[in-house]
């Protein structure tokens, strides 16, 4: 029959065309523009436009040149980003792993799981800028936390949470932790439940206790999804912006110790529209993300 020869291939192309067009126009071209502009001097000073003028790698050189105090801003901000990420992500992953084990344990048989999952996942959906504004009002000098501390007589003067590096970083990490540990818990739970049940039964019959079962059965089989979780969290951490930006009003106070890489990028994109420097920063973030993505991609394809 003639019908057999009908090829539907063209429909495949037609159906995926909108995706690729949108990607081309709104992501690929801007990406190329970003990289291209990183080799130009191109910014606004007041009302005058400077450039665009080709300057080779000078934007990159400028990024890595120490200022008068000997600080290299981009390294300082990369360091901040890493510290802020680690402070939030380490407890996030450890606690999520612990909770995932609690929730999936038949022996413990935790009641009210739906309630706990609903509550711990909730902060993930909350607007990060509103969440930060909320933390700012709660922890400000006249906020309820300080009012409570003074009412209890723990301190005579309000604790200025936003004047100390430790407390600002602590608050940012606490927020990141709260926003992500529920999500990670749910992912790891799915990972544990995906493990063949007969393996746990076999371990049980062989007389393994729960600690042995965890380290000898659960953890090794959970490693791929754990790697995936850690690295996607890293890529997410690299983009950290809303929380420190709103919490510190863009200043990264005190003394720019909570300024992240994307806040640095945002500073160049804001008023001065410095596409040269913004481009160079973007390329650096892109390269770091690219390396991390490659690891994710490897870990994903290896499993199949």
Please report, as residue ranges, which positions from 112 to 171 form the binding site for another protein (by CB under 8 A): 114-123, 125-138, 140, 142, 144, 147-148, 151
Virtual torsion, Cα 183, 189, 195, 199, nearest 10 deg: 150
Name 48's bridge partners: 45
What are the CA-CA distances from residue 115 to residues 62, 111, 122 (Å)?
A: 52, 9, 11
Binding residues among 51-90 for another protein as defined by CB under 8 A:
none
Closest approach, Cβ 158 to another protein, in A, equals: 12
Segment interacting with another protein (CB under 8 A) among 54-62, 154-162, 212-220, 244-252:
244-252
191 binds another protein (CB under 8 A): yes
Segment interacting with another protein (CB under 8 A) among 69-77, 158-166, 198-206, 216-224:
216-224
Closest approach, Cβ 122 to another protein, in A, equals: 6
Q: Total residues at the site for another protein (CB under 8 A)?
A: 113
| Cα(156)–Cα(127) distance, integer angstroms | 34
293 binds another protein (CB under 8 A): yes
Q: Whose Cβ is closer to another protein: residue 71's or residue 137's? A: 137
Contacts of 270 (CB under 8 A, 6+ apart): none
Closest approach, Cβ 68 to another protein, in A, equals: 27
Dmax over Cα atoms in the chain, in whole Å?
Answer: 91
292 binds another protein (CB under 8 A): yes
Binding residues among 10-29 for another protein as defined by CB under 8 A:
10-16, 18-23, 25-29
Neighbours of 15 (CB within 10 A): 9
Closest approach, Cβ 118 to another protein, in A, equals: 4
In the set 63, 238, 253, 257, which binds another protein (CB under 8 A)? 238
- H/E/C letters for each residue in 174-201? HHHHHHHHHHHHHHHHHHHHCCCHHHHH
| Cα(77)–Cα(260) distance, integer angstroms | 5
Name 302's bridge partners: none
CA atoms lying within 13 Å on the CB side of residue 172? 32
Closest approach, Cβ 138 to another protein, in A, equals: 6
187 binds another protein (CB under 8 A): yes
Q: Whose Cβ is closer to another protein: residue 66's or residue 194's? A: 194
- In 3D, which of 139, 124, 191 has the Cα closest to residue 170? 139
Q: Which two tokens stand for residue 241?
A: 């912006």
222 binds another protein (CB under 8 A): yes
In the set 62, 95, 199, 208, which binds another protein (CB under 8 A)? 95
């Amino acid at each position: 029959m003639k019908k057999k020869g009908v090829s539907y291939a063209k429909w495949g192309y037609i159906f995926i065309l909108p995706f690729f067009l949108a990607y081309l126009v709104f992501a690929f071209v801007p990406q190329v523009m970003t990289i291209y502009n990183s080799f130009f001097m191109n910014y606004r000073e007041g009302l005058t436009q400077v450039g665009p003028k080709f300057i080779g790698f000078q934007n990159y050189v400028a990024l890595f040149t120490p200022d008068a105090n000997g600080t290299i801003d981009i390294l300082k901000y990369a360091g901040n980003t890493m510290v802020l990420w680690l402070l939030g992500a380490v407890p996030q992953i450890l606690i999520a792993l612990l909770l995932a084990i609690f929730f999936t344990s038949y022996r413990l048989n935790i009641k009210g799981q739906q309630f706990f999952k609903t509550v711990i996942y909730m902060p993930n959906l909350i607007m990060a800028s509103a969440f930060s504004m909320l933390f700012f009002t709660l922890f400000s000098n006249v906020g309820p936390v300080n009012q409570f501390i003074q009412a209890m007589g723990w301190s005579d003067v309000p604790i200025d949470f936003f004047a100390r590096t430790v407390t600002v970083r602590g608050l940012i990490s606490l927020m990141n932790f709260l926003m992500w540990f529920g999500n990670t818990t749910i992912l790891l739970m799915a990972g544990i439940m995906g493990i063949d049940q007969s393996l746990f039964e076999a371990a049980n019959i062989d007389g393994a206790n729960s600690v042995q079962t965890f380290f000898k059965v659960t953890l090794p089989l959970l490693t791929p999804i754990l790697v995936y979780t850690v690295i996607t969290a890293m890529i997410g951490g690299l983009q950290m912006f809303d929380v420190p930006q709103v919490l510190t009003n863009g200043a990264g106070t005190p003394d720019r110790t909570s300024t992240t890489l994307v806040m640095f990028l945002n500073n160049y994109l804001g008023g001065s529209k410095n596409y040269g420097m913004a481009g160079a920063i973007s390329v650096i973030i892109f390269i770091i993300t690219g390396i991390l993505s490659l690891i994710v991609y490897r870990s994903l394809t290896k499993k199949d």
